Structure formats: structure tokens, C-alpha cells
Amino acid sequence: MSQFANRSMVALVLIAGLLPGGARSAQPETATNEAETIGGGNEHPLSKWVEIGLARISQVETYTCELVCQERIDGELNRPKTIFAKVRHEKARQPNSADDTDSRISLYLHFNSPDSVKGRELLFCNAAIDDPKQWRIVVRKGGKSLAFLTAELSPTCAMAMQDCRYPITEFGLKRLIERMSGVAKQECMYPECDVQIDPDVGFAGQSCTKIEVRHPERHDHFKFHLACIYIANDLKLPIHFSAYDWPAESGAKPELIESYTYQSLQLNAALSDADFDRSNPAYGFK
């Protein structure tokens, strides 16, 4: 266990979830490649996409995908990670509980790259546990040495949060859309927010609506200089989100803070309890 706690174990992910059968077929009315300034109480264009995204994801009980993510931690940009994910949303199992309308989440993640974490597995299921202090993730280390080591961790402990920007509890499309909702509401309180929307841009082999949100001037209430979002026009769901910091010096390019791309999305996939069971013979948990 001491080796598993060693800092050579790059921590588990992630994010989550950002923006990671048709809810609404119509796109928002705002569809222009002209920049518009948001602020002073004006409605943020992202609000319309948040509404559509939440309606769409509410129809999705399960999905599988390949996530490509890259994050800057303590000023250093990590290598991209490629992760296969199984996700299941389910209602709280106590109908009279205060949060019975919340969608609980079960996750299985398998890391495919880079080599330092290849073969790592992660399992999380909070469907029957109301107290976040009791939530646990099961982790198989993977990587080049002692790959078989398995441990149970709190999602927010130092080991689980090493080298990742978000706890695993924030993984997935629904959580991403909810965070984008918060960003849109905050930005409407301030000026100096330029938004560009292009309704037909190719990305990862799909027709997408591209949304760019730019803050020309640095202020403490803005978390990023530039954010890029690609929403698949057929799925009505975001498949890419990236955020950039202000350039380190005049004339330099913005620095990547975080980037998440959802590939090979299979919505309402046929997943069972076995997919979220650590004793599944296809998994390597000890």
C-alpha cells in the first residue's frame, strides 16, 4: 500500500464531466459568427445550449465513450490521457429523500494512455449512498510497475486528487453542462465577455456548433481568457470543451488550462450492474 501511495502513482481523473433520442431538434436562435458582447444582465448564449443539453442528457440513462483529456496542474501541462468510460445515471433509491430528483452516477474508467497509467481502472458508484463522506472509489494502479495494486479511496483525498483538476464525482456530461450553466450566470453579471457562434463547423468527423467565449481583459471574476465548446448538432450534446489562460506575455499564444474531448459516444448503451461491480471478471481489481 505504501508503494501505491507513492507520488509515482499519477492520480486518477477527472473531470468531469463537461459539457461531458432527440430532446429538441431545433437549435438555439443565436447562430452567428459575429461576436457579441455579453454583460450587464443580458442573457448569455450558453444559457440556451445549457437548456437544450440538460433536456437531452435527461433522456440518457447510460453511455460509453472515449475521453481524451489534458490538464494543467500547478502550472505544468500534463500529457494527454485517453480513457474508456462507462457511465450510468440513476435516481436516488429513496423516493422521499431531499435530493431524490438528483441523478446519481456510476462510473467505470479504463486508462489506455499514456504508458505511465495504461491499464489503470477506476470504479465509483454512489447510487445507494447519500452521505458524500462515505463515498469511495476503487482503483487499480496500472502503469509500468505494480500495476495490480488496488485500493479504496475517498474521491477527494490527496492521492485521488493528485494530478487532476476535478474529483471523479464531477465526471460526465451532465456535470459539465451544469458547470457551464454556472459560468453563464456569473458572466452575465459583468461586461467584457465576447461570444462567437458558428453553427456548422467540422470537429472529430461531426458537424458541430462552435461556441467561443473570450474575456479580453483579465479580472479575478473570470476563470479563463478563452473557452471553446463544440456541440454535436445531431446529439445536441457537447463533445469538446477547452479553456485557455491569458498569454504569459504580449503577443504570445493563450496557455491551455484544460481540454476534454468525448469520442465514440454510445448513448443509452446496454450496461448492467455487472459493469459497475468490482468482481467483474473482465476487470483487474484485487
* Pairing between β-strand 103-113 and β-strand 76-77 as defined by DSSP bridges: unpaired
Where are the domains positioned within the chain? 2-22+30-276
CATH architecture of 2-22+30-276: Clam (2.50)
Per-residue pLDDT for 99 more than 60?
Answer: no
What is the pLDDT, as a whole number, of residue 113?
A: 95
Average pLDDT over residues 276-280: 95
Secondary element (H or E) of residue 53: helix 45-57
pLDDT band at 240 (very low <50, low <70, confident <90, very high): very high
Q: What is the pLDDT of residues 158-217, one digit of tens each?
A: 888 888 899 988 899 998 888 788 777 777 777 678 889 999 999 999 999 999 989 888
Average pLDDT over residues 114-126: 93
What is the pLDDT, as a whole number, of residue 137?
A: 95
pLDDT band at 91 (very low <50, low <70, confident <90, very high): low
Per-residue pLDDT for 231 more than 70?
Answer: yes
Lowest-confidence range among 2-6, 43-47, 227-231, 238-242? 2-6
Q: Is the dihedral of CA 179, 181, 185, 190 positive or negative?
A: positive
Q: Which has more confidence, 135 or 24?
A: 135
